[in-house]
Structure formats: structure tokens, C-alpha cells
Amino acid sequence: MAGRFSAWGSSLRQRLSSPSPSSSRRLSKISYTTLPLDTPVEEETLAYYKPEHYYPIKIGDVYETRYQVTGKLGYGAYSTSWLCRDLQSDQYEVLKVSTSLPSVPTASGRELKIYEHLARVNSTHPGQALIRELYDSFDLHGPAGKHRCLVLQPMHMTLLEMMGLNPKPFNLPLLKMTVKRLLLALDFLHTEANVIHTDIKTDNLMLSLEDEGMLADFATAEAEDPSPRKQIDQSRVIYQSRRFRRPSACKSYGRPILCDFGEARIGTQQESGPFVQPHIFRAPEIIFEMPWGSAVNTWNLACLIWDLFEGEHLFEDIFDAKGGHDPFRHLARMVALMGPPPEEFHSAAVKRPNSAWVAHEEAVVPMISLGSLEKRLAGEEKAEFIRFMMSMLKWLPEERKTAKQLLEDPWYSDIHAWLYLLSPATDKISWLSASLVLSIRAVIIQAPRKSKLATDRGYIKASEVYG
């Protein structure tokens, strides 16, 4: 595995033995659907969209004399993603082009720094294969500044997109297989790479792409049936994104891979400063503006597990009437689940004269517990799940189980026979297929109720995820 990452690291900006470039392919001249100028499309629909912040990528163009864009994969507030063909290696890769917003260079620069750091880690840890690979990086200069471009390993879809296709909570086997893989990635980051991710959520977890024919088929589909687009002017076109087809019958949907290191940090402990983590996943030491470390990922993981299995946020009623984060409501819910905070948190608040915690606010502590909120399980199965969750939901970071300790937790006892599936070299059965086999043994007690995150509160089976 060390060789795999060493080779990756050496290729970030220098290809020592690149083949001679293959010629760029002439893309289709077939007519396409022109979208009306007065209808917002893709990134134009975002609240703070400004066209000058997005680099005007065009399908068919070649960048850095080697990356030919074949189609648009997606967009966001801080970047757009494109499938491209490397004219030197004749391989398909993903081009992630950051916006030129003032805050973006910091995040994109941080992500590149993290990737360069990971490339120097000499490790055989299996979790290393569950981190998305970076192949290259370069900068483009647009009308409003610099755009950092990352050339990345192609992926199929995010867990968020997968759940959107079939909005049902995970069953226990699928949940355990997902969490096990994520913990392997986190254990590698924490113990061998000394990296804290800080932003673990469903749109930063992607399924690996095992059916490579999907890449060529994507390019062919774009050439034969070009994506609808809006021609803003001679220099700018807004394209509609295109989805990959489903994997062929003999291929799998791949493994969950941890992506997006724009908010990651290097080091065992960070001083208090700018907030990290989404509000709903934010650890107590972040809210209290205390020094923090890798244990924030453990807290984040517990909240994510609840989302995946229960279909709603564990910390949901934490916003005020205007939609802003209310730390007092957040704290009240933490107190309900874990009891009052220890003295360390009170002392930290008092020592900060400008801290919001010095103010006297009232927030009603809800009469809830993790057991009362959990509705899907019963008996020993429920008790084990609650125990596993509470091992991560602790006020003091040092009392939370580490990723390594969680990997050894007995909560996984029913999947130990399938641990070989976690080795990339022997991953012959898909993550979803393995979960389906395990689900035959699982006893699921159905308790349908309306979900805050899903329209259908039924139970997801591996065979149903894309069915």
C-alpha cells in the first residue's frame, strides 16, 4: 500500500515516465438543447452565485495540454466537477475546479496541502485505500482571480445522492459495513497520517467506481446526446450535469470512500479558533471554543450514524427562529443525552470574557434520552446500539472511544466473518451485496414513523438501494 501512495505522491506535479500524449478527440457536433437565458441553471440557482467566481470551463477544451473535458459531473457553492480524459495516460479522471470566492483559496489550498502530506505517509494501513486519491493539481486564472484545480480519482456518487434515490434509512448490516469502512479510513488518518478530517457527512462519502466502462459510456453519451446548456456569451456556457449509468450486472457499486479534505487539519491538537464541523455534527469542545483533536471526528461519526439509521438528526432543534445556530439549545439537548457538562467546560467559558457562554440564557432541557429517541430496535440489539453510540457521545474528548477502539467493539461481532471484504485486494463482493447477505440474519423490528430526512420511513435493503 505504501508504494501505491508513494507513486501517487510523486505524480502530483511531476510525471517521471509519462507516455507520449494521445491526441485530443473531436467531440460531437450534434445539436443540443439550448436552455432559456431567463431560467437559472445549476450553479445559477445558488443563493450567492456570481458568474465571475466560476471559471468558464467548456466541454471539449483541453487544460494543461493534457486534460480534455468530456462532460459535467456536478456543481456546488465552492467548485464544479468535470469528467476529463488524460491525453497522456488515456485514462478518465475528475477535474474539480474551485471558485474564486475569497474563502475558497484557503480551503482548496488546505486540501492540496493535506493530499501532499498524505502522499508522504509510508503505510500499509488498509484504511489508506478508503481515501480518495489526488493525481495532479494546477491553477487557472479567471476574470476574478485564481482557481485551484484538482485532478482526482473518479467516483460514482455520494451517499447523499444514493439516499436521495432511495430515501430510506440503512438497515443494521448496511450501517455496520459503512461505519466499519469509515472507521478504517479515520484510524489511518488519526494514527498514521496525523490528520483530522472535521467534515464527515454524507456528501463527503462517495462510492468507488468499480465498473470502469461507466466512464467511457459517460463520454460516449455526452458525444452522442450533448447535455442541455445555456450560452451566456462567447466565453461562458452553463451546462446541465450528467449522471453515470448504473454498473453492469456483474459489477458492484463499490466501497464508501472518504473525500473532501478542504476543512481537514494536520496535527494531534488544534487551538480554538474558527469553528469547524457542520452545526448538527459539532462536538461540544468546538462549541465551547476549547482546544480540540481527532475526538471531534468520533463525535461527528456518532451523529452521522444516527442520521443514516434513524433518518433524522440527533441534534435537530438547535436553531433559532431566524435559522441561526443557537448554542444554548444545542447545549440543552447535549445535557438531556449526557447529563451536565463537567467542570472543564464551565471553566473554559468563564475564562473567555467575550465568549457567548458568559451570557445568561435559558434553554429548556428536553425530557429525552438516546433510548427514548431510538425506535427501530428492541431488546439486546437496542441496548448494544445505544452502548456503542454512547461510547462516542461523551463530554470529554479523552473519554470517547478512538477509531481504533471502535473497530474492535463487539457491536461488529456479527460481521467479523466478512472482514475480508474490507481488504481492497480481495473485495470481490460489493459493499451492498455483503450487507444483503448479512441482512438475511438480521431481525429488523419495524416501527414506521414519519422521518425528518426521508419521505418513506420503511427499511432499506441492500438490493433496494438502487432498485
Give the tens place of pLDDT for each residue, 346-396: 776 655 545 545 444 567 888 999 999 999 999 999 999 999 999 999 999
Catalytic site residues?
A: 199
pLDDT band at 415 (very low <50, low <70, confident <90, very high): confident
d(CA 158, CA 136): 22
Total count of residues recorded for the chain: 467
Residues 282 and 403 grouped into a single domain: yes
Does the pLDDT at position 8 exceed 90? no
Count the domains in the chain.
2
406 neighbors 183 (Cβ within 8 angstroms): yes
Residues 424 and 377 in one domain: yes
Strand partners, 93: 84
- Shared domain for 66 and 104, answered yes or no, is yes
Asked whether 283 and 296 are in contact (CB, 8 A), the reply is: yes
> Is pLDDT of 17 > 90?
no
Q: What is the mean pLDDT of residues 420-431?
A: 43
Mean pLDDT value across residues 101-118: 83
**Do 48 and 75 belong to one domain?**
yes
The CA dihedral of 387, 392, 396, 397, to the nearest 10 degrees, is 150
pLDDT higher than 60, residue 435: no
Q: Are residues 199 and 327 in the same domain?
A: yes
Residues 102 and 136 in one domain: yes
* pLDDT at residue number 82: 98
Note the pLDDT of residue 289: 86
Q: Which of 216, 377, 196 is nearest to 298 (CA)?
A: 196
Q: Are 267 and 351 part of one and the same domain?
A: yes
CB 37 within 8 A of CB 232: yes
Predicted local distance difference test score (pLDDT) of residue 420: 40
Q: Which residue has the higher pLDDT, 27 or 75?
A: 75
pLDDT at residue 450 greater than cutoff 70 = no
Mean of pLDDT values over 102-107: 68
pLDDT at 7: 39
185 and 66: one domain? no
**148 and 105 both lie in a single domain:** yes
Domain-terminating residue out of 194, 224, 247: 247
Residue with the larger pLDDT of the pair 356 and 33: 33
**Is pLDDT at 164 greater than 50 in this prediction?**
yes
pTM assigned to the model: 0.82
What is the pLDDT of the chain when averaged over all its residues? 82
Q: Tell me, letter by letter, the H, E, C secondary structure of the chain.
A: CHHHHHHHHHCCCCCCCCCCCCCCCCCCCCCCCECCCCCCCHHHHCCCCCHHHCCCCCCCCEECCCEEEEEEEEECCCEEEEEEEECCCCEEEEEEEECCCCCHHHHHHHHHHHHHHHHCCCCCCHHHHHECCEEEEEEEEECCEEEEEEEECCEEEEHHHHHHHCCCCCCHHHHHHHHHHHHHHHHHHHHHHCEECCCCCHHHEEEECCCCHHHHHHHHHHHHCCCCEEECCCCCEEECCCCCCCCCCCCCCCCEEECCCCCCEECCEECCCCCCCCHHHCCHHHHCCCCEECHHHHHHHHHHHHHHHHCCCCCCCCECCCCCECHHHHHHHHHHHHCCCCHHHHHHHHCCCCCHHHCCCCCCCCCCCHHHHCCCCCHHHHHHHHHHHHCCCCCCHHHCCCHHHHHCCHHHHHHHHHHHHHCHHHCCCCHHHHHHHHHCCCCCCCCCCCCCCCCCCCCCCHHHCCC
Say what the pLDDT of residue 412 is.
Answer: 84
Distance CA 1, CA 91 (A): 21
pLDDT at 274 over 70: no
Look at residues 314, 113, 111, 281 and name the one whose alpha carbon lies nearest to residue 199: 281
- Of residues 204 and 364, more confidence is placed in 204
CATH number, domain with residue 64: 3.30.200.20
Q: Which domain holds residue 58?
A: 1-153+212-247
In this prediction, residue 401 carries a pLDDT of 98
Q: What is the CATH number of the domain that holds 257?
A: 1.10.510.10
Whether 268 and 294 map to the same domain: the answer is yes
Q: Which long-range contacts (CB under 8 A, 24 or more apart) does 189-192 make?
A: 189/127, 189/131, 189/258, 189/294, 189/297, 190/294, 190/297, 190/402, 190/403, 190/404, 191/125, 191/403, 191/404, 192/121, 192/123, 192/125, 192/128
What grid cell was written down for 228?
442541455
Whether residue 273 sits in one domain with residue 149: no
Q: What is the pLDDT of residues 291-312, one digit of tens each?
A: 999 999 999 999 999 999 999 9
223 pLDDT more than 70? yes
Say whether pLDDT at 161 is over 60. yes
Q: Are residues 267 and 381 in the same domain?
A: yes
Share of the chain above pLDDT 90, in %: 58
Q: Which residues contact 120 (CB under 8 A, 6 or more apart)?
A: 9
Q: pLDDT at residue 132 above 80?
A: yes
Residue 103 grid cell: 474563502
Question: Which residues are CB-neighbours of 282 under 8 A, at least 6 positions away?
Answer: 275, 330
In this structure, how many other beta carbons lie within 10 angstroms of the beta carbon of residue 277?
Answer: 22
β-bridge mates for residue 258, sequence order: 131, 205
The pLDDT score that the predictor gives to residue 432 is 56
In the numeric block, which cell numbers belong to residue 369?
434520552
Last residue of a domain, one of 200, 226, 247: 247
| More confident position, 372 or 433 | 372
Domain boundary among 247, 265, 292: 247
Residue 345: C-alpha distances to residues 23, 177, 317, 399, 420 (Å): 62, 35, 22, 14, 42
pLDDT score, position 322: 80
Give every CB contact of residue 105 below 8 A, 6+ residues apart in sequence. 98, 145, 146, 148
Q: How confident is residue 73, by pLDDT bands cut at 50, 70 and 90?
A: very high
DSSP-derived pairing of the beta strands 145-152 and 134-142: antiparallel
